[in-house]
Structure 1
């Protein structure tokens, strides 16, 4: 039986879509650093002695905002890919030391000198953390063309590891999308657009400058103590919004109060995490996640000195960070 032309076209559609997706993937390539072939920190090169001095000179000293979250058993964490949850356990307790006497100092000494010790186990992308540039790549390469074959060993990456991230001292900007829309928090799966960013900046009478740390508030942090609610269908940034921050606004680092920064499902055929690959692999812009922005929003602090240093996990793809915001005059 002869197959009609419309049916033949329908049968060919999956192949056509696959070819289009393949073309989209091929078009995405990692960025080559303008700071040289040995660059491992990307846009963090925008931090200079002059830029640090300029923002610190404007600090009012009136208040300090802690932008980090608590770590606790049962906290929100990414486990969809099989990564472990946060665990903490006591390795020593005052009474346990009396019974076991691990230091062999005797019961009287253990009663006199109490000793508590603990240990933790966690995925690197938990709590308030910063993604290093090796976290995501494209076509077998990460930022600046480094490859797994040459630079990834059994103890982590030899380039772009979390230990290479310098202390960040820069101008910080809060873009409060939820407040700009008159909401306590954005709806599930809401995808923040370029226009959303522009409207919020206009409402706040704030502008972006090259080298800023730009933090997006969705309001999701209000549910942080309820992991099930916090993790379910979070809002996040669109790819176009991310491009606006970096290419138009000059952002050095971007971050948000959600866990994934972007939202799902992906808006780009052939790439399940297009915002991450764009920022990390193509633009060399580290990502901050789970940043607590509620106090800044409450007090309408939109510009500040951002200061943060992450743990130096050698070869790691992320590390916890405890950032602070110091309002500026």
Structure 2
């Protein structure tokens, strides 16, 4: 029984109390999801990125045709789309030094003639780690006080971040990349607000593209949302995203190593899983050890119908952090 239906039957607090009791009973009766235990051993901190091997890197690079390089990253700019619902800060950039300011302030104490001769520009930025094109580390979400491989927050999280699974542990990613262009397969520029991509949607798009998934792929889903990136409010409002069944298809059947999309949260809202407001993040990061790429610019690949490529990306090594910016590129393959 839903909250809205209860509210019609029993007004006010009585309905809320009854719903709370029913929900608590359901939670206590149903088995709780638990974090995954790594098949790569008790010290593993990178999860499915262990699928990268010397052989897999060499195999995909041997297929690069050199025709073009696609930049899959977005620009960072003041006013850019960003997650602020939980109180996280927006992107800020300010000048710390300007040529004309240095003439007046003379911060290096070199004198006015030198400052007029040698111009000096400096800047600083402040941002939430989950902004722009970025990769979620495995400590970003967990379950019941634990993250991937059973690492506990009360044992491994300090005032300067996690001492396990931090963004600095993510290795450079060199792997086969696959674009699944769901929007194009449905004949639209952009999926509708809050559209939840299904397993069938992914299978339909793959069939239309004549592409099959392979173990160790970096799989990127295009919803078309990137077309609104320069309009932050439109980009952020009611984004489409993946269903849990679609995510399970990618990892458990398709063998994906990393998954990503052109939206901000990979999943969409409201949650389809009772008792978990971000079920895809907990499933992928905490249970499967699969990093998530968000805000990936897939418009160029879609335009040129490039569905298979060498994916190359290395994120910034933010020690102990739960995410970091990444500048991925796609190189078409033979």
Q: Aligning the two structures, in what range does the TM-score lie when normalised by the shorter sequence?
A: over 0.9
In the alignment, which residue of structure 2 is the partner of 1:319? 324
Aligned to 1:3: none
CA root-mean-square deviation: 1.3
Partner of 1:68: 73
* Whole-Å separation in 2 of the counterparts to 1:106 and 1:14: 70
Residues 248, 110 of structure 1: alpha-carbon distance in 2 compared, 3 angstrom cutoff: same
Q: How far apart are the structure 2 equivalents of 1:236 and 1:51?
A: 29
For 1:175 and 1:130, locate their aligned partners in 2 and report how far apart those are by CA, in whole Å: 19
- Cα distance in 1, alignment partners of residues 28 and 166 from structure 2: 30
TM-score (norm 1): 0.96
Unaligned 5+ segments in structure 1 are 1-5
- Alignment of 1:19 onto 2:25: yes
User: Once the 2 structures are TM-superposed, how far is the Cα of residue 38 of structure 1 from its aligned partner?
Assistant: 0.1
Q: Is the partner of 1:326 in helix, strand or coil?
A: strand
1:23: Cα distance to partner? 4.3
Deviation at residue 239 of structure 1 after TM alignment: 0.3
Q: Distance in 1 between matches of 2:326 and 2:26?
A: 40
Cα–Cα, structure 1 residues 223 and 23, in superposed 2: closer, same or farther, change >3 Å? Answer: farther
What's 1:255 paired with? 260
Matches of 1:318 and 1:59, distance apart in 2: 29
SS for the counterpart of 1:27 is coil
- Give how far 1:88 is off: 0.1
Q: CA deviation at 1:129?
A: 0.1
Alignment-derived partner of residue 6 in structure 2: none
**Inter-partner Cα distance in structure 2 for 1:21 and 1:300:** 45
Select the residue among 101, 106, 117 that pairs with 2:106. 101
**Residues 75 and 61 from structure 1, CA distance in 2 versus in 1: closer, same or farther, beyond 3 angstroms?**
same
Structure 1 residue ranges, 4+ long, deviating more than 4 angstroms after superposition = 10-14
Instruction: Report deviation, 1:20.
Output: 1.3
Aligned mates of 2:18, 2:89 — CA distance in 1: 42
Q: State the Cα distance separating 1:22 from its structure 2 match.
A: 4.2
Deviation of residue 29 (structure 1)?
A: 0.2
Query: What's the TM-score, normalizing by structure 2?
Result: 0.94
Distance in 1 of aligned mates of 2:209 and 2:170? 30
Query: 1:21·1:269 contact (CA, 8 Å) conserved in 2?
Result: no
For 1:275, the equivalent position in structure 2 comes to 280
**Partner of residue 232, structure 2:** 227
Unaligned runs of 5+ in 2: 1-8
Residue by residue over 1:232-279, the C-alpha shift from the partner in whole angstroms, topping out at 9 and shown as x without a partner, is 000000000000000000000000000000000000000000000000
